[in-house]
Chains A and B, each alone.
Chain A
């Protein structure tokens, strides 16, 4: 019984390690995510982020915020409340050229990525 428990714990720990973090490609301004493991809905959301968000800032800024849990410019916690606040900020920027549906898709993706990063 004891052996079984230890084995199960080891398997669980290994599984968690295997899913930890985000698959990131490239460095610096060229940094981007590998969406191959995303669910279909999140793949579509990622396409919106990849096209729309980079008009104003690199994806590195977003990825670092998700990885570290801290927004790199403000130093504020980057959690689910923050993702929505940033989404609203971008929605209201007159030059962001993002619709509400696109902002919602972006926020949903960031929340998904936050959850993935925490695994």
Chain B
């Protein structure tokens, strides 16, 4: 009897601890860019939606093609006479919309509901992105439909003013405008709902659908805050020189008596610079820097969530902060990513004690390249949110038979204080 109860308890705890693994993020590669610039997806992506170096420069350039001659004209270049309206108004000639659909299959040996094999998670996301001449860039993602857990937050307290969009309901995930080089300065101003620029990698900028970088995705206790969630805010960012990128912003959520603040700095050494320019390479001689690029980044986030009663009295306030450092190393077909984060939360439950958290992730990818567009991936994660450590080992494989179709399968072995767990997750995604 005791054993049976114990087993049920372990399975329940494992289900809870592994649940985030079954929360695939959205894939935000968007073919609208491919159509606008009349170029293939591989211009910006390795295996979509992960960005290559040029794609990262495109992103940092406010969705304007780096160094494109008269990029302002974008879609009107070489246009037939009669399309002057497009240039004069700044409107793109094509409506810049894309759709991404995913279907997932999960096997969880400790599924809390007993449904070990689950083929009930699928989603359709609408995306829009482009530029209005070279003055403004824009991007939007809208969750049209999803079934199963999609980064949902079922938590009600202490912060029901969550920054995480509610689960499976149609909802806006991102919608922002970038005013490029505002007032002729090197500063870009981003306004709207977006993922605060903390990490080197955007949430969607990864091969595998399951969140990979614990240092920016984890949550602590009952607090719904995770630093990669989209939020309403204003961000200023700028490229200083060709290889230093800085960003800082403020975030406003309901139920706050003050805004959150964050900052990011990153430096790229070697490789394509952050403006999309190729490095100088001697084609007669070999050097390690012909293929090596190293990007180092650091970030900090300070904020607060909670709720206010009818009298405006703050309740269950949680003050939190995250600081972290990351490294991205690319050498030929080998891609290594490392990430570490330290956090502090003052109240993540009902009048609970303060919690210090730590998270580390190491990930290696190897591109086999054409004609076999397969990427083996191995990821190690360590997470301690104050209640013991969880370690996760994830071997995975992703495959793109076409540039807009991606299949992946990953297996995760979790080691937690309450026991071990194994989850297999397969996903197919396509964008159009």
Interface residues of A (CB under 8 A from B): 55-57, 70, 72-76, 84-85, 87-89, 91-97, 100, 103-104, 107
Chain B nearest CB: distance from A108 CB in Å?
A: 9
Name the contact of B278 in the complex, choosing from A73, A88, A100, A104 (C-beta under 8 A).
Answer: A88
Residues in B neighbouring A107, C-beta threshold 8 A: 283
Q: What are 13 residue pairs bridging A and B, where the CB atoms are less than 8 Å apart in the complex?
A: A75-B68, A76-B68, A88-B279, A88-B281, A92-B278, A92-B279, A93-B42, A93-B52, A94-B52, A95-B367, A100-B286, A104-B283, A107-B283
A75-B68, A75-B69, A75-B77 are known contacts. Are A56 and B40 too (CB-CB below 8 A)?
yes
Minimum CB distance partner of B66 in chain A? A74
| Shortest Cβ distance from B368 into A: residue | A95
Q: Which 8 A-B pairs have the closest CB atoms?
A: A75-B69, A94-B367, A95-B369, A104-B283, A88-B278, A94-B333, A88-B281, A85-B278
For residue B280, which residues in chain A have a CB less than 8 angstroms away from its CB? 88
Q: Are A91 and B373 in contact (CB under 8 A)?
A: no
Decide if the interface of chain B is mainly helix, strand, loop or mixed.
loop
Please state if A95 and B67 are interface contacts (CB–CB under 8 Å).
no
Nearest residue in A to B291 (C-beta to C-beta)? A92
| Min CB gap B248→A, angstroms | 31
Question: From B330, which residue of chain A is reached at the shortest CB distance?
Answer: A94
Interface hits, B61-76 → A, CB 8 Å? 65, 67-70
**Complex contact B290–A73 (CB within 8 A):** no
B271 within 8 Å of A (CB atoms): yes
A76 close to B67 (CB less than 8 A)? yes
Distance in Å from the Cβ of A119 to the closest Cβ of chain B?
A: 25
> Which of A57, A76, A96 is within 8 Å of B369, CB to CB?
A96
B46 at the interface (CB under 8 A from A): yes
CB-nearest residue of chain A relative to B279?
A88
The number of residues on chain B lying at the interface, defined by a beta carbon within 8 Å of a beta carbon of chain A, is: 36
- CB of B5 to closest CB in A, whole Å: 52
Q: How far is the CB of B30 from chain A (nearest CB, A)?
A: 17
The residue in chain B whose Cβ has the minimal distance to the Cβ of A70 is B69
Given contacts A57-B40, A75-B70, whether A94 and B290 have CB atoms under 8 Å apart is: no
Residue of A nearest to B367 (CB): A94
**Of A72, A96, A104, which is within 8 A of B370 by CB?**
A96
What residue of chain A has the Cβ atom nearest to residue B335's Cβ? Answer: A94
Decide: B370 and A73 in contact? CB cutoff 8 A.
Answer: no
Distance, CA A104 to CA B284, complexed state (A): 8
A80 CB, nearest partner CB in chain B, Å: 13
Q: A73-B65, A96-B369 are in contact. List 19 more A-B contacts (CB 8 A).
A: A55-B371, A73-B43, A74-B68, A75-B70, A84-B283, A85-B278, A88-B279, A88-B280, A89-B278, A91-B290, A92-B53, A92-B291, A93-B52, A94-B333, A95-B369, A95-B373, A97-B370, A100-B286, A100-B290
> Is residue B4 within 8 Å, beta carbon to beta carbon, of the partner chain?
no
**B39 part of interface (Cβ distance < 8 Å):** yes
CA distance A88 to B278 in the complex (A): 7
Asked whether A56 lies within 8 Å of B332 as measured between CB atoms, the reply is: no
Minimum CB–CB distance from B390 to chain A (whole Å) comes to: 32
What's the Cα separation between A93 and B272 when bound, in Å? 11
| Residues of the B chain whose Cβ atoms lie less than 8 Å from the Cβ of A92 | 53, 271-272, 278-279, 290-291
**A73 and B39 in contact (CB under 8 A), knowing A91-B281, A92-B53?**
yes
Residues of B contacting A84 in the complex (Cβ-Cβ under 8 angstroms) = 283
- Chain B residues numbered 197-244 whose CB sits less than 8 Å from any CB in chain A: none
Contacts of B38 in A (CB 8 A): 72-73
Chain B CB within 10 A, most for which of A88, A94, A104? A94
The answer to whether B70 and A95 touch across the interface, beta carbons within 8 angstroms, is no
Contacts of A94 in B (CB 8 A): 46, 52, 332-333, 335, 367, 369
A88 to B67 alpha-carbon distance, docked (Å): 16
Find the residue from B77, B279, B281 having the highest chain A CB count within 10 A. B281
Q: How far is the CA of A38 from the CA of B40 in the complex (A)?
A: 30
Q: Is the CB of A74 within 8 A of B65?
A: yes
Q: B37 in the interface, Cβ–Cβ < 8 Å?
A: yes
B120 to chain A, nearest CB (A): 34
* Residues of B close to A91: CB separation below 8 A: 281, 290
A74 to B37, CA, bound (A): 8
Interface assignment of B54: CB less than 8 Å from any CB of chain A: yes
Cα(A74)–Cα(B77), bound, Å = 10
Q: Which residues of B contact A73 (CB under 8 A)?
A: 37-39, 43, 65
Pairwise interchain contact A95-B65, C-beta atoms closer than 8 A: no
